[in-house]
Structure 1
Amino acid sequence: MKHVAAFSAILTILFLSIYPSDQVFAENSGDGNAVVDLTLNEEEGIRDPENPGTIVDPGETPSTSGKLRLDFVPQLNFGQYKRSDKDQLYPVNGQLFLDETSARGTFIQVADFRGGAQGWALQVRQETQFKNDQTTNTQLNGAVISFDKSWTNSVSGLDNAPTVSKDIIRLSNIGDTYNLAEAKPGTGNGIWSIAFGASADNAAGAPATLSPRMQEGKAVTDSVFNNQQTYENIAVQLSVPGGTKKDPVNYSTVLTWILAELP
């Protein structure tokens, strides 16, 4: 019997504050008052992070509502592997879609329609270590998720793009909050993809990080996405020390994605 350990990061919680109205009033004094009510043209739909003018179908996802919101967050799955006594790096599955869109890197979609480009911060927090309470070795001590090769994209162009880290972000301290992207005041309005990794076909010049996932020489498929070929995305990885005791079971954790207003 083949022993494998399956790893998945389960997204369950999102947070969003209450935001003020995006109405702007301009007045002109004299014989009378003139008032103009300016509102943004609020767009909807999940965008292809590599072709933001195209609406895609990544399946169901938790999301938030409001003028500043999270439209899409990834559900991370690190696949199935044989148990190992050596240090291992497990790449996450690339993002698949229920339409004809090819696999993409891991991405989050942020929308800001408050008006005035007030700024925001995208953050993530890992609530617990990878664990399974139904087995002998209940958690993967020392396991760390990392995010790399970050970039942004938007149908409105990159002149007002949020900033992303050029360094690898490691969630090494459980319960700590880590910044993934920040839109300073004057930037980040509209719809933005914050992506980690990309396909070789992307036109933005982002490093290609996807490759077909194979197991014993055979393509690994995903039944959730109509049995499409799955891809490894080395931009997001799970490292597990070889000395960590582990059982042939599924281990999971909870990530909290946070979209916050700037002070």
Structure 2
Amino acid sequence: MFFGLLLVTIGSPIFLAREAAAETESMDGSGTVTFEGEYPQEILDPENPEIVVDPGESPQLKGDLRIDFVPKFDFYQNKISDKDEIYYANAQNFFGATKPRGNFVQVTDVRQKSTGWTLQLRQEIQFTNNEAKHKEINGAMLSLDKSWVNSLGNLENAPQLSKEIINIDNVGASYNLAQAEAGKGSGTWIISFGASSDNNSNQKNTLEPRLDNKGQAVLDPVFEQKPVYLNKAVTLSIPGSTIVDPVPYTTELTWILAELP
């Protein structure tokens, strides 16, 4: 797609001398510049947004109002328990030198006129494995806490975040994560759940190294064998009365970005 931009230029006046009197004449000119392609959908470091990072592949929306990145929550491999348990998600890892961060979503609004937007999350199904004897993890609840926002832009124009812990206890319901009022929310915004100890935004550290049952660091086979960290801001709680099988269970999450009228 091509974009045309009209440059307004001021023409330099041409002075012509005449015998009777000096008169000023001018000619108008114009300038043009043409672009092709689309705005880049670069993913930014949640704690240092001036740095472009590589968190791996993610679903993306296109257009002037879009989602650039969403997290994939992985709650690791855990022992079956008959007690109420809380499990922590793996923190976001990256290719390259970037250290682990809290799990995050990135939203970009480059509309000429920002009317505002909302970001919601919906869990479509319970954690499920259709091949297992016990196909669902009854009562499992995903929770998101310690949300904060960062950007290269003016933080006074940041979207408002939910101040409460987001407990997704109703499968099929949509939960508000962020809302930008009209005139705010322009640019790129990173909404994080949790943070590392390296952050300069006065956010509490929620990350810890993940260790195996022998006390050894767990390494990430996807991200260059880098150490895996857990993030205490993103949890999955399971009642002790729920019976599960020693198999992986998965769910479907829908991230909803809506333009305000």
Partner residue in 2 for 1:146: 143
Task: Measure how far apart 1:227 and its partner are.
Answer: 1.1
The structure 2 residue matched to 1:93, chosen from 90, 95, 99, is 90
Distance 2:163 2:172 in 1: 23
Deviation at 1:194, TM superposition (A): 0.6
Residues 122 and 181 in structure 1, CA contact (< 8 A), matched pair in contact too: yes
The aligned counterpart of 1:181 is: 178
For the aligned residues, what is the CA RMSD? 1.7
Q: Which residue of 2 aligns with 1:237?
A: 235
2:254 paired residue number: 256
The SS at the match of 1:122 is strand
Shift of 1:219: 0.8
CA distance in 2, matches of 1:261, 1:254: 23
Instruction: Using structure 1 for the length normalisation, give the TM-score.
Output: 0.83
Report the 3-state secondary structure (helix = DSSP H, G, I; strand = E; otherwise coil) of the residue aligned with 1:250. Answer: coil
Query: Whole-Å Cα distance in 2 between the matches of residues 71 and 44 of structure 1?
Result: 6
Gaps of 5+ in 1: 1-22, 24-40
1:210 is aligned to 207
| 1:158-177 equivalent positions in 2, closer than 5 A | 158-177=155-174
Query: What secondary structure does 1:79 align onto?
Result: coil
8 Å CA contact 1:132–1:139 kept in 2: the answer is yes
Q: What CA distance in whole angstroms lies between the structure 2 residues aligned with 1:152 and 1:83?
A: 36
The residue type paired with residue 255 of structure 2 is: W
Instruction: Tell me the number of residue pairs that the alignment of Structure 1 and Structure 2 aligns.
Output: 226
SS of match in other structure, 2:241: coil
Partners of 1:162 and 1:187 within 8 A in 2: yes
- Listed one character per residue, the Cα deviations across residues 186-230 of structure 1 (whole Å, up to 9, x for unaligned) are 110000001100001100111110000011201111101111110
Spell out, residue by residue over 1:147-185, the C-alpha distance to the aligned partner (whole angstroms, 9 max, x if none): 000000000130100010111001100000000011111
Q: Secondary structure at the match of 2:222?
A: helix
Give yes or no for contact 1:212–1:230 (8 Å, CA) kept in 2: yes
Q: Secondary structure at the match of 1:104?
A: coil
Q: Secondary structure at the match of 1:200?
A: coil
Instruction: Trace 1:1-263 onto structure 2 (pairs within 5 A).
Output: 42=39, 44-216=41-213, 217-263=215-261
Query: By how many angstroms is 1:43 displaced?
Result: 5.3
Aligned partner of 1:247: which letter? D
- How far 1:42 moved relative to its partner? 4.7
SS at match of 1:80: coil
Q: Which has the higher contact order (CA 8 A, sep 6+)?
A: 1
SS for the counterpart of 1:159 is: helix
**In the alignment, what sits opposite 2:8?**
none
Identical amino acids, percent of aligned pairs: 52
TM-score, scaled to structure 2: 0.84
Q: CA deviation at 1:99?
A: 1.3
Equivalent position amino acid for 1:218 in 2: Q
Secondary structure in 1 aligned to 2:152?
Answer: coil
Q: Name the CA distance, whole Å, in 1 between partners of 2:88 and 2:103.
A: 11
In 2, Cα distance between equivalents of 1:171 and 1:115: 34
> Hey, what's the Cα distance between the residues in 2 that align with 1:58 and 1:139?
30
State the distance in 1 between where 2:43 and 2:149 align.
15
Q: Tell me the amino acid that sits aligned with residue 67 of structure 1.
A: D
5+ residue gaps, structure 2: 6-37
Distance between the aligned counterparts of 1:185 and 1:43, measured in 2?
Answer: 24
Contact 1:42 1:113 in 2 (8 A): no
Distance 2:156 2:80 in 1: 47
